[in-house]
Amino acid sequence: MRRTTSLFVLMTLFTGANLWLFAQGGPKGQPPTDAETPIGPRWWPSEFGPDDQRGAANRQTPAKVLEAKDLITEGKVYQLGRLYESEMPNFGKRHFSLTIPGLPTGKPQGKNQLVYNDELVSGEIGQVGTQFDGLGHIGVRVGTDDVFYNGFKLSEFGTSYGLEKLGVEKVGPFFARGVLLDMAGLKGERALPKGYVITPEDLQKALDAAKAEIRAGDVVLIHTGHGFWWMKDNKKYNDGEPGIGLAAAKWLTDKKISLVGSDTWATEAVPGEDPDRPFPVHQWLIVRHGVFNLENLDLSELAKDRVYQFAFVFSPLRLKGATGSPGNPIAVR
């Protein structure tokens, strides 16, 4: 950390500090006025300690499990994960390929004539389809390095074969209260329009309408209705989305949640509040607060059944050094 300090000093002195001369600002959409990094003052060490790599997953405690358990009254399970298929809408150049080697993969063997099939998958598996953003996914270029949650630097933990810190394998399972905020329902629309910036007031209204509460460690899922277009009109699905803005993100992090998710590919509004600042909510949640983000969920059944509080269970794959995880999270009421 001392080295970091001197680096900052050096850069401020000799590089002219111009990396930090953006007008910057707080969570309301206005840039912060301080200037330590492109996203404001330094955010480390984490409230969970300077060595922490799990962020808000630390709020997953036995007490949370017991709280969540109490929300299970009917035993009904909702799958929130979407199908992984090659045609699904992907971000940028990401791809997903699934093939069956041979048919069958293993030819008949033995008197019992056993055959078997495998599947070969290639793709950005933690960042396609229903995806859980780990803490190694998002960072900020500060000077000549990329800084992530808890101040970890990519130059120190990144390798071509996986991340040596902040890998998704360190997160552990979520078994917590889940709260659905049905924004589409609140607005009486099938889907909020792309670019719609969900505000704290919106969230509060949905919470009130649900007669629900959000506690520390909870999982908050935001139903925008945008998921309706998944595999129906992938171009439309990918071409922008409604989602939370920075103020709403702050509203959530102030509540000390563990995880936020949505039926969109980024959880935050696209285009966002400031055209010069792409995906600022990702940075606010993941980099600054260690709060996780689940994208491309299917929340339609939950919303239809007006299930606003439930036990949420999701256990990320322990992909060593990965930036995220695919998943099929469940809500249980």
Chain residues 29-68 in contact with a copy of itself, contact rule CB under 8 A: 31, 38-39, 60-66
CB of 165 to a copy of itself, least distance (A): 12
CA–CA dist 229, 43 (Å, integer): 37
Strand-pair category, 120-123 with 131-133: unpaired
Q: Which residues of 290-320 are buried (b: 16+ CB within 10 A; e: fewer)?
A: bbbbbbbbbbbebbeeebbbbbbbbbbbebe
Contacts of 112 (CB under 8 A, 6+ apart): none
- Contact pattern for a copy of itself over residues 260 through 289, marking x by CB under 8 A: --------------x-xxxxx-xx------
CB of 230 to a copy of itself, least distance (A): 13
Cβ 209 vs Cβ 186: under 8 Å: yes
Q: Can you tell me which of 41, 49, 50, 108 binds a copy of itself, judged by CB under 8 A?
A: 108
Q: Which amino acid is at 199?
A: T
Q: Can you tell me which of 41, 45, 49, 173 binds a copy of itself, judged by CB under 8 A?
A: 173
CB of 187 to a copy of itself, least distance (A): 29
Q: Can you tell me which of 27, 136, 227, 243 binds a copy of itself, judged by CB under 8 A?
A: 136
**Choice between 185 and 326, CB closer to a copy of itself:** 326
**Choice between 141 and 306, CB closer to a copy of itself:** 141
DSSP of 239-279 = S-B-EE-HHHHHHHHHTT-SEEEESSSSSB-BS-S-TTSSS
Q: Can you tell me which of 125, 184, 222, 257 binds a copy of itself, judged by CB under 8 A?
A: 125
**Choice between 185 and 327, CB closer to a copy of itself:** 327
Q: Which stretch, 42-50, 205-213, 216-224, 325-333, contacts a copy of itself (CB under 8 A)?
A: 325-333
**Choice between 1 and 232, CB closer to a copy of itself:** 1
Q: Which amino acid is at 50?
A: P
Could you tell me which residues are beta bridge partners of residue 120?
99
CA–CA dist 261, 81 (Å, integer): 11
Q: Which of residues 285-324 bind a copy of itself (CB under 8 A)?
A: 313-324
CB of 195 to a copy of itself, least distance (A): 17
CB of 321 to a copy of itself, least distance (A): 7
Query: In 10 A of CB 117, how many CB atoms?
Result: 11
CB of 208 to a copy of itself, least distance (A): 28
Q: How many residues bind a copy of itself (CB under 8 A)?
A: 122
Q: Which of residues 82-101 bind a copy of itself (CB under 8 A)?
A: 82-86, 92-95, 97-101
Q: Which of residues 186-245 bind a copy of itself (CB under 8 A)?
A: none
CA–CA dist 316, 126 (Å, integer): 10
Largest separation between any pair of C-alpha atoms in the chain: 77
